[in-house]
Amino acid sequence: MAQDWKSFEPLLIPDIPNLEKIDVYEENGGYDALKEILNDQETWSRKSVVEEVKQANIRGRGGAGFNAGLKWSFMPDPDGGPRYLACNGDESEPGTFKDRKIFEYNPHLFIEGALIASYAMTVDTIYVYIRGEYLSWVEMLQDAVDDAYEKGYLGDDILGTDVSIDMELTYGAGAYICGEETAMLESLEGKRGYPRTKPPFPAQNGLWGRPTTINNIETLANVPLVINNGADWYGDIGAEEHPGPVLYGISGHVNRPGVYEYPTGVPVMDLINDVAGGIRGGKDLKAIIPGGSSTPPLRADQLDGVTMNSDSLKDVGSMMGTAGMVVMDEDTDMVEVLWRIAHFYSHESCGQCTPCRDGTGWLEKVLKKIKDGEGEMKDLDLLLDIGNQMEGRTICALADAAVWPVRHTINRFRDEFEERCKKSVHAVA
């Protein structure tokens, strides 16, 4: 399968001019999946839609990789009160810049997917939360939503059925943490983006205390593909355990950075060399960060035969994350890179939990000391020790996300870090 990727025709963002316009989307089979479901609710009961999506095994594209249909199935039975779908377009993990492509090039695919998800879960209101910096893309999506309302795909009695679903767009104001699903709910409620303790999980107690499911934008854009073509068809795309098309964001020291759509499971080296045009300036590859800044970096010598799917990356000690791959050439200073990542997490810690608020600050300070040539060998162990005291001791995963790159960058590039440190002074008896 991995060899077939070159002949793959994009599904999420196919090469159709003006596809962002609703007429063009419709002419190309757009909203057919929604029509099929709503016009034949006997075949497509809400439960059978959940089952189909569960069977397709769409793994969440926001970073966690959880089966989307399974997530949907956690929603309790309707009790007549409001139920929500919260769509996560916060996209703030360094290295990640893919969802904005859907807003720009194929917004209706996402809208259709969100509508199908809402039908399946008996949701009446969809909130789309987009990062505040993406104002240009908020406007694009708003245009698409307005058109969908006008055509009767959104609002009351959709397509003449008794199904009514609304979609509201809103945006943040600059806070990475709001990409964490419960922080996003807090922000949607008009508050500081402080993650919530789980349980209760959002399916039980989400927006305004009501059942809520949170899905990533790209995840929802996969849903119409499954309905139109079936779970088996979808399961045959890409890596078996992590199927489907993926928007790979490739950045850093490559000749052709950008967002590319291919199936899961493309060999990492093919993505770098064939897709992104190789390393700039003909240099050698030093390392990659496979899926956003929190995923552990991998040395070039670890990449032999590694493909972009969660299992293959796990085998070599990393993760798929958001598939936002950052490529680094031979001249990259890993100490500088790690310090900058630590600076990011320190800046973005919401401050709620002490191990994270203080820990991310210390990671940054100690790394700055090393970067400036003032560090000592024992500081490397101090960094690992701080990390051990942060991981798993906080409400959300931001602390973990800050620790993983520190631990793995030091372990995998230990020589480089030791070289920057002064020798420790040891007491000799």
The least CB distance from residue 372 to other proteins, in Å, is: 15
Angstrom CA distances, 33 to 112, 180, 232, stand at 8, 30, 16
Q: Which residues of 350-373 are buried (b: 16+ CB within 10 A; e: fewer)?
A: bebbebbebbbbbbbebbebbbee
The least CB distance from residue 3 to other proteins, in Å, is: 18
Q: Which residues bind other proteins (CB under 8 A)?
A: 10, 13, 15, 82, 91-97, 100-101, 104-105, 131-136, 168, 170-176, 187-193, 208, 249-253, 256-261, 275, 289, 293, 324, 326, 328, 332, 336-337, 340-341, 344, 347-348, 350
117/188 with CB nearer other proteins: 188
End-to-end CA distance of the chain: 63
**Helix and strand totals (H; E) in the chain:** 18, 9
Compute CA 144 distance to the chain's CA centroid, rounded to the nearest angstrom: 22
- Other Cβ atoms within 10 Å of 338 Cβ, number: 25
The least CB distance from residue 356 to other proteins, in Å, is: 15
Return the structure tokens found at 3: 């060899």
The least CB distance from residue 174 to other proteins, in Å, is: 4
Angstrom CA distances, 393 to 122, 193, 211, 405, stand at 35, 19, 27, 17
Among candidate residues 242, 220, 237, the one with its CA nearest the CA of residue 72:
220
- Other Cβ atoms within 10 Å of 397 Cβ, number: 18
Angstrom CA distances, 257 to 17, 95, 137, 248, 404, stand at 22, 11, 20, 10, 25
The least CB distance from residue 275 to other proteins, in Å, is: 8
208/233 with CB nearer other proteins: 208
348/391 with CB nearer other proteins: 348
157/173 with CB nearer other proteins: 173
Q: Which residues of 161-188 are buried (b: 16+ CB within 10 A; e: fewer)?
A: eebebebebebbeebbbbbbbbbbbbbb
50/327 with CB nearer other proteins: 327
257/265 with CB nearer other proteins: 257
46/98 with CB nearer other proteins: 98
The least CB distance from residue 97 to other proteins, in Å, is: 5
One-letter amino acid of 399: A
The least CB distance from residue 261 to other proteins, in Å, is: 7
